[in-house]
């Protein structure tokens, strides 16, 4: 035993060895206290998604099952155009609003905590749920009190709720998922966002503006998906699969959109689900192989995506070429 050392000399007064390590103090992330700001952002963006309808006057579409004969100008006001003639617009506004919120969250990803994400999602869903409830109440108060009316209202509200859930999924993919998942979110949102943007052109009677809206519907989804593929890249298996799915959506999404519109406009909207399904499938199949309509946007998507990927590769190589070289001595 070394000189000057005695057993127990390292003990403190209580008979225990003193702690030499520091106690870690867990500090709360200062960003987590701003969840309420993300809630406000969600509410604002959710309302932004409804803006085309709010600017149109908010008069509920004329309903076939309305209890009294009422002209379009005398229909009550509602936060959504619930009804077979406006159901497609409801889906578009919900999905577009959710996609915009997801994009905002993606842009501010470094500042978006988990609590902030849930607050953002809650704000969007809150606006959409309140709008659905108010419009459903107005619709229920005006339609005839019959079994057909109950079935009609149930189907419409169910579609709106499904759109809310689908929008929440798109928001989550765009805002929080890795790039492959975000690419799928952008691809799913491309068509409804384009229709949402084009709907502003219907607020005017100018034929030129309506023609612009038609062009937006036809080509903007392809450009959005192509840009998303270029942004995501194709350097992993997951991103390659996501890009292929996105390209498939360029072809399939318009047919799905036509099928949904056909079902919504069908006089069988209050019929059994099997009747609606057959009607939708028939419309989908009739549109899926219209090569003259569906092929040009697909070609545009491939070309634009290839250009963006090549530009991304060129920029990446330029940046690597500017990195300082470290001399190695042998």
What pLDDT shows up at residue 330? 37
Q: Is 113 within the bounds of a domain?
A: yes
More confident site: 96 or 272? 96
Domain-ending residue, one of 156, 176, 196: 176
111 shares its domain with 242: no
> What are the residues whose beta carbons fall under 8 Å from the beta carbon of 159, sequence distance 6 or more?
87, 90, 91, 264
Whether residue 263 contacts residue 85, with contact meaning beta carbons closer than 8 Å, is answered with: no
Last residue of one domain, picked from the residues 143, 176, 209: 176
Residue 3 within any structural domain of the chain:
no
Question: Are 53 and 169 in a shared domain?
Answer: yes
pLDDT in tens, 267-316: 555 555 666 677 778 878 788 888 888 899 999 999 999 999 999 888 88
291 in any annotated domain: yes
Q: pLDDT band at residue 67, thresholds of 50, 70 and 90? A: confident
Residues 247 and 298 in one domain: yes
- The torsion angle over the Cα atoms of residues 48, 52, 57 and 62, rounded to 10 degrees, is -120
HSE value, Cβ hemisphere, 13 Å, CA-based, for 52: 23
d(CA 100, CA 49): 8
The rounded mean pLDDT for the chain is: 85
Residue finishing a domain among 122, 154, 176: 176
- Please report which confidence band the pLDDT of residue 65 belongs to, taking 50, 70 and 90 as the band edges: confident
């Amino acid at each position: 035993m070394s000189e000057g050392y005695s057993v127990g000399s390292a003990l403190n007064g209580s008979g225990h060895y003193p702690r030499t390590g520091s106690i870690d103090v867990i500090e709360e992330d200062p960003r987590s206290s701003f969840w309420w700001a993300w809630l406000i952002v969600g509410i604002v963006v959710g309302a932004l998604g409804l803006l085309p309808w709010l600017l149109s006057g908010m008069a509920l579409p004329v309903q076939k099952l309305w209890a009294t004969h009422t002209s379009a100008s005398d229909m009550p006001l509602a936060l959504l155009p619930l009804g077979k003639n406006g159901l497609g617009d409801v889906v578009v506004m919900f999905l577009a609003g959710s996609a915009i919120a997801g994009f905002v969250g993606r842009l501010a990803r470094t500042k978006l905590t988990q609590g902030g994400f849930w607050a953002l999602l809650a704000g969007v869903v809150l606006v959409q749920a309140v709008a659905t409830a108010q419009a459903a109440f107005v619709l229920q108060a005006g339609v005839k009190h019959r079994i057909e009316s109950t079935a009609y209202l149930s189907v419409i509200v169910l579609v709106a709720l499904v759109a809310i859930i689908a929008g929440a999924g798109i928001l989550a993919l765009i805002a929080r998922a890795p790039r492959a998942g975000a690419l799928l979110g952008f691809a799913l949102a491309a068509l409804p966002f384009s229709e949402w943007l084009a709907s502003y052109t219907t607020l005017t009677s100018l034929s030129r503006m309506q023609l612009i809206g038609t062009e937006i519907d036809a080509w903007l989804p392809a450009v959005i998906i192509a840009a998303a593929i270029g942004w995501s890249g194709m350097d992993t298996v997951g991103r390659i699969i996501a890009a292929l799915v996105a390209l498939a959506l360029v072809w399939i999404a318009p047919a799905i959109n036509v099928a949904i519109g056909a079902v919504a406009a069908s006089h069988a909207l209050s019929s059994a689900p099997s009747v609606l399904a057959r009607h939708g499938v028939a419309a989908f199949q009739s549109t899926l192989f219209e090569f003259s309509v569906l092929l040009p946007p697909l070609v545009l998507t491939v070309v634009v995506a290839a250009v963006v990927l090549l530009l991304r590769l060129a920029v990446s190589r330029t940046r690597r070429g500017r990195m300082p070289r470290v001399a190695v001595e042998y």
